[in-house]
Amino acid sequence: MLYNYLLPIILVLALAAYLKGSGRAKELWRQDGLRSLHSLPLYHGLFVAFWTAVPALAIWSLWQMAEGHLLTLAVKRGLPQELQSLSGNEFSLVMNDVKNAIRGDIVTSLNNATATGSARLYLATQQGWQSLMAYLSLGLTILGFYLSYRNISLELRARNIVERLSTIFLMLCSAVAIFTTLGIIMSVLIESIAFFREVPVLDFLLGLKWSPQTAMRVDQAGSSGAFGAVPVFAGTILIALIAMAIAIPIGLLSAIFLSEYASEQVRTWVKPLLEILAGIPTVVYGFFAALTVAPMIRDVGSNLGFAVSSESALAAGLVMGIMIIPFVSSLSDDVIHAVPQSLRDGSLALGATSYETIKNVVIPAALPGIVGSVLLAVSRAIGETMIVVMAAGLSANLTYNPLKAVTTVTVQIVTLLTGDQEFDSAKTLAAFALGLFLFIFTLFLNIIALYVVRRYREQYE
Amino acid sequence: MPAGLITALPNQLRAITMQLRLDTNGELSETSQQTVGVPFVENARMTCRKVDVHYGEKCAIKNISIDVGRNEVLAMIGPSGCGKSTFLRCLNRMNDSLASCRVSGDITLDGVNIYAPTVDVVPLRAQVGMVFQKPNPFPKSIFDNVSYGPRIHGLATGKADLSEIVESSLIKAGLWDEVKDRLHESGTSLSGGQQQRLCIARAIAVSPEVILMDEPCSALDPIATAKVEELIAELSTQYSIVIVTHAMQQASRVSQRTAYFHMGSLVEVGATEKIFTNPGHQLTEDYITGRFG
Amino acid sequence: MPAGLITALPNQLRAITMQLRLDTNGELSETSQQTVGVPFVENARMTCRKVDVHYGEKCAIKNISIDVGRNEVLAMIGPSGCGKSTFLRCLNRMNDSLASCRVSGDITLDGVNIYAPTVDVVPLRAQVGMVFQKPNPFPKSIFDNVSYGPRIHGLATGKADLSEIVESSLIKAGLWDEVKDRLHESGTSLSGGQQQRLCIARAIAVSPEVILMDEPCSALDPIATAKVEELIAELSTQYSIVIVTHAMQQASRVSQRTAYFHMGSLVEVGATEKIFTNPGHQLTEDYITGRFG
Amino acid sequence: MNTLASIQNSAKLQSRYRKDRCFRLAGVSAIAVALCFIAFLFSDIFTHGYKAFEQTKIELEVELRPADFVGENLRLANYPAMVKRSLYALFPEVTDRQDKKSLYRLISPGASFEIQDKVLADPAIIGSRLKFWVPANDDVDMLMKGEIDRSLPQANRRVNDQQLAWIDSLVANNKIEMVFNTTFFTAGDSREPELAGILGAACGSFYTLLITLCLSFPIGVATAIYLEEFAPSNRWTDLIEVNINNLAAVPSIIFGLLGLAVFINIWGIPRSTPLVGGLVLSLMTLPTIIIASRASLKSVPPSIREAALGVGASKMQTITHHVLPLAMPGMLTGTIIGMAQALGETAPLLMIGMIAFIVDIPGGITDPSTVLPVQIYLWADSPERAFSEKTSAAIMILLLFLISMNAAAVFLRKKFETKW
Amino acid sequence: ARDYISVVGSSTVYPFATVVAEQFGKTTNFATPKIESTGSGGGFKLFCSGLGVNYPDITNASRAIKSSEFNQCQANGVGDIVEVKIGYDGIVLANSKERAPLKLSRKEIFMALAMQVPDPQDPTKMIANPYKTWRDVNPQLPATQIEVLGPPPTSGTRDAFVELAMESGAKQFDSIKALKKADKKAYKKICHTIREDGAYIEAGENDNLIVQKLQANPAAVGIFGFSFLEQNADLVQGSFIEGMEPTFEAIADGSYPVSRPLFFYVKKAHVDVIPGMKGFLAEFTSEKAWGDEGYLADKGMIPMPEAERAEYAQAVKELKTLKK
Ligand SMILES: Nc1ncnc2c1ncn2[C@@H]1O[C@H](COP(=O)(O)OP(=O)(O)OP(=O)(O)O)[C@@H](O)[C@H]1O
Ligand SMILES: Nc1ncnc2c1ncn2[C@@H]1O[C@H](COP(=O)(O)OP(=O)(O)OP(=O)(O)O)[C@@H](O)[C@H]1O
Ligand SMILES: [Mg+2]
Ligand SMILES: [Mg+2]
Ligand SMILES: O=P([O-])([O-])[O-]
């Protein structure tokens, strides 16, 4: 019972501890006059609240993670021998049954006596453990509170402690990105290696033909397939370039117009409107590209005498460009807006036109942010799938003609992973290899971008 | 009021009794003051008539009428916050970029109303240059800071030409020796006084015909100050200069005429000598003798 | 060099012949100069020994050794770009926030080396307050600008207390009358001189024990300047003050000791009177008589 | 000496002005292009989707004979039979088995569920004769909405001539009418277009995005602050920076793979739940938020930091009191865009089982659920014609969701904006 | 505790399985099963990962389980699997109603779409597919460009199409037929490889999109499931294959040659444990679902002959497990 409310109780106790701690500090402060206290009462409060809540929360969450496992062990002992000997996963079915029995409304496979017996055992054990945990964590809150509260004194460097803790928190947060990367590499690396056992790396990297038509069944024998990734990467670059050719000018010009020319009123309304573009589901864009833009391009093209395939890189790239406009426009608008007015004044006072001011002063000053937003947009273009699947097709043509159908890395990954797949055929594994090399490819792009930005950064005061 | 009529007015309007009445908000009361001294000159380069500036609701300067003569240095003095910078910024419409700022009245340059809707601010500002109170170098190299103006106005025909302009401007501003070896470092990495001189160099590099300087020597040591004053003297043979300064000595050294501002109004204008030796208004006298406040 | 030893040194080291040799880069040559005058005092509040500061590769100040005494006003003068601000910023470790800036040497406050790794800069900066050369008010209300320091240091126990501190600080900085009706307007909407005084008020609101002022009166008119000088005199009865100024008169009015910097080195330090009447070094003499450059 | 007027007329100046004007014009047209696109897309979606908010209903008089309800379990009664009986009563002339089947096709299979629900809610009505407005089948609905062309030959039409005649007679007798489609807003997914609703997906999106927001905003901002303000600038920091930029380019489906491997297989979080969806999407949005936040932290002028440090604020205080408020607009922009992306994303959810048919409305973060874009994706892939208008309507709901989500952030952003 | 059935697998079976699930959920006390559309291969991968609540109970498939998959299942302890065939899905070629319907033979389909075809001059020699228009393939056909929108190589539908249409078409060339005995690998390669010169456009697996693309481009032909043809009878028409129009009846009685069986696979160990499994299986295999007049037929699934239905219904009742 108590256990169910443990989380809110701990939080309320932490709040109380905060109030108590800061109250105590305030009291000391009043007694001993100005500057006597090393840190503000706020920090003393946070210090106490931290020690009140965190150990208890840690124990609580550890228990949360371990509970299922421990309870299973406990219940297992009360079950018939043949059930006990089941393997872990199979036993989970029995446990599922027991849990369903506890809920009471569902027929189970266990015979009634066993089921109710186990259910009772489960409940009893759970209750026992849980109340133990509840008392343990409450005890910890009290202990934590007591120990930290005792420490409050004029000299306690509470601010330093709290700031140290927050810095650790910040550090941990930035570790998330690192772990994500590691996770991604791990989740594609093993399969990629398996893939390269079947297809030589060089064939993959330098091959000009992509046709993952391998046999899927032993009896299918079938075609052997070709895994040259060049056309796939070329297609990715082509489409991303088209998208950027749309998004960068439109996005940047919009950003500049909004922050430099437009009235505050216009900016207030237009900016969020543009941001809607980023949130329209890509499926919707895909339909639009495939059913409206692509036929339009084909009609226009054939009227002009070009051979346009009904699925073209141009259609997909155009629509994708529209989709990523807000990445450029909104993020750039923010950084441009943040350029101090004194810089603009400096330029305008020399008789520069707004255009010259923007080009020579404002944009360079805002450059790192702008480049960041453009990079983000490029990234998004490289990572986008649905639009290309629907509008540019899946055929891996090695071409720089935007009127032809091409395919991209992400599209191939998605179709390989969602189509009829097999655990270890090169066809499925190719998805992971593509993922890995895309990762490496964008890594290079980003390293280059980093150095470019470093070089041209103009830091204002 | 047409400019012709004004300049035709007799030069003898002076010592008109004036009363400053402050209402409870410390704002100027409606009964407007008249300026003591000789606000108008013959053959004026710029004329200002009844200029009021409001920041939002608040009136920053009120009913300022004054001329800037040809080839003269006009000094503006007055206690901090009295509206000198505000007025200065009106003269090349720098206030346009402040959304909350409204300017009314007439200001002309060579007889053209610079606030007329048809007037382009770009040539206006090229003609009426400005040095701001707070140095604001661009986060670019020192060279680019100075060459920026000449470049956009196409004043240099080539690279060499441009370098020449940059060098001569920096020399005039007295900064050349200090920076000649580091022209490609960022302007923001200079010391406070160096930045100020950089801004002066930047402004004179486009050879404006009227130069507005808002405390151009505030961060300068006496030697650098002397250089700038020399520059002012040299420029004033050809151009008109309006300079805001807190140093009375500076005003008396460099200017032909001095204007005294007080709480948003122009209290007195006159020949510098006259102002500093025999001021026409009690407030002016109090201020220059340091008895005020 | 241990501080104890230094303060025990005879006070008579003066008029040592010194040669300034500049290499082609305009940088100081290796053969270092020694400071003329009395750089060290007994019972010093802060001591600096052999302080060098580099911006990246460039050496901005070199081998500075000087003390700041208790309850004294130390003025720092010198041509623009000579390293006064750089040195001042070392005294409360403001240079830490510039990535390119490296400080070496020892600086102590009450005998504690402030660059020791164990030192917490926060209480240090609360003790050693600073007014920057360029006024930099927060884009917050005037009230918040001034009350920020007291609030984070817990100097006020309540709202009323805080208002009192704000009011008294603004009064001391001579800004109260101008802003008392607009305490909730943004600090950035003030005039240049008002901003400067706001920054002074902000710095003294935390009652630091050493106050570093980088040209605090550069944008102030004589009257406001007088107020600030009054403030400095008042504060110096309890605290130590280091002030950078370009106005010799100001230095002679407010300071007990004066230090003359030249191209990154400390040329001469001594009692203000002595410096201005009988300087020990040729460069100092040239500078104060205006013959330099 | 040239005068103001003469300078104004110089050709050079004119050309500079022209550039300025062109530039401005380019800005306006860029915005116009983007806005036109939005307007076009919106109107397209609206014209396709508004009809989904109406629904055709047919009036049936059903007799709930007690004999039909044998046994305790009221669910086991043959409700379809009751519907059929009352339908045949309307058209007694239909006797042929094939024709009867055709006739029954006019009514949605949901009709019997509706009656069942009524009976379960109030068993007392058993034995009475009641009038019900039951949903018509999707083909009838399409016909009533004019989506089916009566002039086509019968073979090419989903509604045959006989059915047309019956419908006409129902229309003549006022037994068929169009009403506001409440089902769409209160039901979960269904394979019958007339019974399908958006609530399940909307709830799923809500829970998923709640988790995404709660994780990605604080973590993203914290990471940005650490990297921009605390991290020593060295190779490691560069590596992390490049690495985060690189994460932004990782295809979203790979995040799905990661989620499958880590959250489901290692952590044991159940598949298809908003919890795991939210985790995956927050990993995906993190780079966007981090990059935007870093850019806006960078654009806070150092003088502000110095001012705060100069009065003795600690680094953390400087950041929380001065830098963060000034950088907040940019951070919120990053969040808006990141969340918008998360709201519209389907690919990563594929791997973690959220591309699924789920009828029951999720009640929490560990119930199986889908999200709006998945619902759109699934409906768009359904053979039934009537799903196409549902698809558009679902897009409208998603946009509504997006707009209300953004509105809050935009409002906050406006509050934080300062110009100095 | 999981109290709902978890189904994964084929996107082709998905629209049928979901109807059953919905029906089951609404007419019983059990929760509606959760049905994921992962593709047949993905479904098997999940299904065969192990026993237990964390793994699905049922997987749908548009093809029979492969032996490698079966072995994988065994290796992971998923021993007893019940195979249930539920019906057929017709694969149709269709074009816009603005043009006349195509009348094709499988041989012509092969000639139009294969990567390599026998040289008309010398049928023993294989050449790269030279045919540009349908008329090149057969003078009776219209002179429009060959432009076929079909599933990508990763799709099960494609595999089925290749096997049912192309391979049997190819076999009609004696030279290829002879190859079958001589070099099975080369034979398969010829039969199964679709041309990549742009005539065959890989169009993703959204069949509605293909239908709409056909409308936009009347010259094109699309390959998709019968249910989409049925729903869009006013826009597109099925091509005749071997003289047969793809109608419900023609597919059901086997006279339309291109159709494939649909299956689902059940973990026997889960049947008694996951609530509602029995009921769901019963619902799926009931006449009102998969019967000739059942609701699955309404949704476009082609029912099995009655005898086959009875056989599988019995197998489900007994939970007869698959042996390999
Ligand atoms: N951030 C910086 N990066 C590189 N060099 C710098 C930087 N700041 C100052 N300098 C250089 O260091 C030297 C000393 O500068 P400092 O600001 O200390 O001068 P100062 O004595 O305060 O001059 P002023 O009176 O003009 O303010 C100057 O040459 C200046 O150009
Ligand atoms: N952007 C602004 N918004 C609102 N009020 C302003 C703004 N700028 C200046 N003011 C106010 O207008 C008045 C005049 O300011 P101005 O800057 O012209 O003074 P100043 O004479 O230049 O003073 P200083 O010598 O201190 O620079 C002051 O009271 C100031 O607070
Ligand atoms: Mg001013
Ligand atoms: Mg300085
Ligand atoms: O999803 P499928 O395996 O049926 O193509």
Element (H, E) at C153: helix C142-153
Question: In terms of domains, do D240 and D158 share one?
Answer: no
Q: Does C94 touch chain B (CB under 8 A)?
A: no
The CA distances from residue D336 to A120, A322, A381, in Å, are 49, 17, 18
CB within 8 Å of chain D, chain A residues 254-293: 254, 256-258, 261-262, 268, 270-284, 287-288, 292
User: Smallest CA–CA separation between B57 and chain A, in Å?
Assistant: 19
Assess whether chains E and B touch, using the rule of 3 or more C-beta pairs within 8 angstroms.
no
**Contact between chains at D113 and E234 (C-beta distance less than 8 A):** no
Q: Which residue of B has its CA nearest to C193?
A: B80
pLDDT at A33 (0 to 100) = 67
Give the residues surrounding ligand 5 with Cβ less than 6 Å away: A 420; E 10-12, 39-40, 62, 155-157
The dotted CATH code for B44-289 is 3.40.50.300
Kindly state whether D353 is in contact with chain E, defined as any CB-CB distance less than 8 angstroms: yes
Who has greater pLDDT, B24 or D203? Answer: D203
Per-residue pLDDT of chain A (461 residues; tens, 9 = 90+): 678 888 899 999 999 999 999 998 888 888 876 667 788 888 999 999 999 999 999 998 888 888 888 888 888 877 777 777 777 777 777 777 777 777 665 556 666 677 777 888 888 888 888 888 889 999 999 999 999 999 888 888 888 899 999 999 999 999 999 999 999 998 889 889 988 988 888 888 888 888 776 655 544 444 556 788 899 999 999 999 999 999 999 999 999 999 999 988 898 889 999 999 988 888 889 888 888 888 888 888 888 887 777 778 899 999 999 999 999 999 999 999 889 889 999 999 988 888 999 999 999 999 888 988 998 899 889 888 888 888 877 778 888 888 888 889 998 888 888 777 666 677 788 889 999 999 999 998 888 888 888 887 777 76
With an 8 Å Cβ cutoff, are A40 and C152 in contact? yes
Q: Do B124 and D4 touch (CB under 8 A)?
A: yes
- Which ligand is nearest the CA of E12, by number? 5
Side chain identity at residue A431, one-letter code = A
Q: Do D311 and C129 touch (CB under 8 A)?
A: yes
Average pLDDT over residues D362-380: 91
Q: Given this model, what pLDDT does residue C3 score?
A: 40
Report the domain count for chain D: 2
Task: Give the pLDDT score at D5.
Answer: 54
B: neighbours with 3+ CB pairs under 8 Å? A, C, D
Q: How far is the CA of B88 from the centre of ligand 2 (A)?
A: 11
User: Residue C257 burial by CB count (10 A; 0-12/13-18/19+): exposed, middle or buried?
Assistant: buried
- The pLDDT, as a whole number, for residue B6 is 38
Task: Decide if D151 touches E, using CB distance below 8 A.
Answer: no
Nearest-CB residue to B218 (from C219, C222, C248): C219
In three-state secondary structure terms, B262 is strand
Q: Convert the pLDDT of each residue in B121-155 to its tens digit.
A: 888 898 899 999 999 999 999 999 999 999 888 88
pLDDT of D309 strictly over 70: yes
Q: CA-CA distances (angstroms) from residue E130 to A316, E137, E138, E172?
A: 30, 9, 13, 19
In this complex, the residue of B124, B136, B149 whose CB is nearest that of residue A345 is B136
Q: What is the pLDDT of residue C23?
A: 37
Give E12-53 pLDDT, tens digit per residue.
899 999 999 998 988 888 889 999 988 888 889 889 988 888
pLDDT at E60: 93
Task: Report the share of chain E in percent with pLDDT over 90.
Answer: 27
Nearest C-alpha of chain D: how many angstroms from E144? Answer: 24
CA of residue C34 to ligand 1 center, whole Å: 22
For ligand 3, the distance from its centroid to the CA atom of residue A151, given in whole angstroms, is 52
pLDDT at D127: 85
B82 is in an annotated binding site: yes
Q: What per-residue confidence (pLDDT) applies to A1?
A: 66
Contacts of E52 in chain D (CB under 8 A): none
Q: Which of A35-49, C75-89, C264-278, D177-191 has the lowest mean pLDDT?
A: A35-49
Residue C22 pLDDT > 70: no
Contacts 24+ apart (CB under 8 A), A243-246: A243/A317, A243/A318, A243/A320, A243/A321, A243/A323, A243/A324, A243/A377, A243/A381, A244/A321, A244/A374, A244/A377, A244/A378, A244/A381, A245/A317, A245/A321, A246/A317, A246/A318, A246/A320, A246/A321, A246/A322, A246/A325
Domain segments of chain A as ranges: 2-156, 229-458
Least-confidence region, from A81-85, A287-291, D152-156, D327-331: A81-85
| Nearest to C284, CA basis, from C264, C262, C257 | C262
Structure tokens at A59: 């124990």
> How far is ligand 1, taken at its centre, from the CA of residue C80, in Å?
8
Are B290 and C220 a contacting pair, CB within 8 Å? Answer: no
Q: Determine the residue type at B165.
A: I
**Phi and psi for D130 in degrees, rounded to 5?**
-125, 150
Q: What local confidence, expressed as pLDDT, does residue C25 receive?
A: 41
Average pLDDT on D116-143 reads: 88
> Chains B vs A: touching, with 3+ CB pairs under 8 Å?
yes
- Give the neighbor-by-neighbor strand order of the sheet with C128-131: C36-37, C265-271, C257-262, C73-77, C240-244, C210-214, C128-131
The secondary structure of residue E321, as a DSSP letter, is B
Please answer whether residues A324 and A306 qualify as being in contact, where contact means their C-beta atoms are separated by less than 8 angstroms.
no
Cβ contacts of D8 on chain B, cutoff 8 Å: 119-120, 123
Same domain, D356 and D208: yes
Claim to verify: residue D301 and residue D360 sit in the same structural domain: yes
Top mutation candidate among B51, B84, B213, B267 for ligand 2, by most atoms within 8 Å of CB: B84
Chain E residues inside the 8 Å CB shell of D355: 36-38
Residues within a 6 A CB radius of ligand 1: B 189-194, 219; C 55, 58, 60, 80-86, 98, 100, 133
This model of the complex carries an ipTM of: 0.90
User: What is the per-residue pLDDT for C4?
Assistant: 40
Q: What distance in Å separates the CA atoms of residue C62 and residue C265, rounded to the nearest whole number?
A: 6
Distance from CA of E54 to the nearest CA of A (A): 8
Any domain includes D47? no
Alpha carbon distance C22, A147 (integer Å): 63
CA distance B273 to B287: 15
Q: What is the pTM of this model?
A: 0.91
Q: What percent of chain D has pLDDT over 90?
A: 42
Helix (H) or strand (E) holding A431: helix A426-456
Ranges C2-6, E83-87, E135-139: which has the least confidence: C2-6
In A384-420, alpha helices (H): 386-391, 409-418
Residue-range domain boundaries for chain C:
44-289
**Measured at the alpha carbon of residue D410, what is the angle toward residues A449 and D214, in degrees to the nearest 5?**
75
Q: How confident is the model at residue C31 (pLDDT cuts 50, 70, 90)?
A: very low
Which secondary-structure segment (H or E) carries B76? Answer: strand B73-77
Are the C-beta atoms of residues D135 and D143 closer than 8 Å to each other?
no
Q: What is the mean pLDDT of residues C146-163?
A: 88
Residue E317, both tokens? 């009742």
For chain A, the residue count is 461
Helix/strand/coil (H/E/C) assignment for every residue in B50-68? EEEEEECCEEEEEEEEEEE
Domain boundaries A229-458, corresponding CATH code:
1.10.3720.10
Work out whether strand C36-37 and strand C112-113 pair parallel, antiparallel, or are unpaired: unpaired
Alpha-carbon gap, residue A225 to A441, rounded angstroms: 24
| Rounded Cα distance, D418 and A358, in Å | 20
Tell me what pLDDT residue A169 has. 93
Instruction: Locate the chain D residue with the closest alpha carbon to E42.
Output: D351
Q: What is the pLDDT of residue C18?
A: 34
- Least Cα distance to A417 among E42, E65, D261, D381 occurs for E42
Mark yes or no for CB contact A93/E212 under 8 Å. Answer: no
Q: Is residue D6 part of a domain?
A: no
Phi, psi of D208 (to 5 degrees): -60, -45
What distance in Å separates residue D417's CA from the closest CA in chain C? 11
- Reported as a pLDDT band with limits 50, 70 and 90, residue D9 is low
Q: Show Cβ contacts of residue A429 under 8 Å, excluding neighbours closer than 6 positions.
A: A191, A192, A194, A195, A198
**Are the beta carbons of D7 and B127 separated by less than 8 Å?**
yes
A touches D, CB cut-off 8 Å, minimum 3 pairs? yes
Q: Domain of D129? A: 54-180
Quick one: average pLDDT of D25-32? 93
SS3 D133: strand
Mutate to test the interface with E, among A308, A420, A424, A428 (most CBs of E within 10 A): A420
The rounded Cα D407 to chain-centroid distance in angstroms is 16
Q: What is the pLDDT of residue D65?
A: 85
CA distance B255 to E273: 100
As a whole number of angstroms, the longest Cα–Cα distance in chain E is 68
User: Cα of D247 to ligand 5 centre, how many Å?
Assistant: 31
Residue D282 sits in the same domain as residue D412:
yes
* Nearest chain B residue to C25, by CA: B181
**D299 and D161 within one domain:** no
Tell me whether residue B80 is annotated as binding.
Answer: yes
Using the Cβ of B193 and the Cβ atoms of chain A, whether some distance falls under 8 Å is answered with no
Q: What is the pLDDT of residues B31-80, one digit of tens each?
A: 346 778 888 888 889 999 999 999 988 899 999 999 999 999 999 999 98
The minimum CA-CA distance between B189 and chain A, rounded to whole Å, is 9
C220: nearest CB among B134, B220, B246:
B246
Q: Tell me the per-residue pLDDT of D164-198, one tens digit each, with 9 for 90 and over.
A: 999 999 999 888 999 999 999 999 999 899 999 99
Distance from E110 to chain D by nearest Cα, in Å?
Answer: 28
Would you say residue D69 has pLDDT above 70? yes
pLDDT digits (tens, 9 = 90+) for A327-367: 999 999 999 988 988 999 999 998 888 899 999 999 999 98
Residues of C in contact with B79 (CB under 8 A): 221, 223-224
Q: How far apart are CA D383 and CA E231, in angstroms?
A: 6
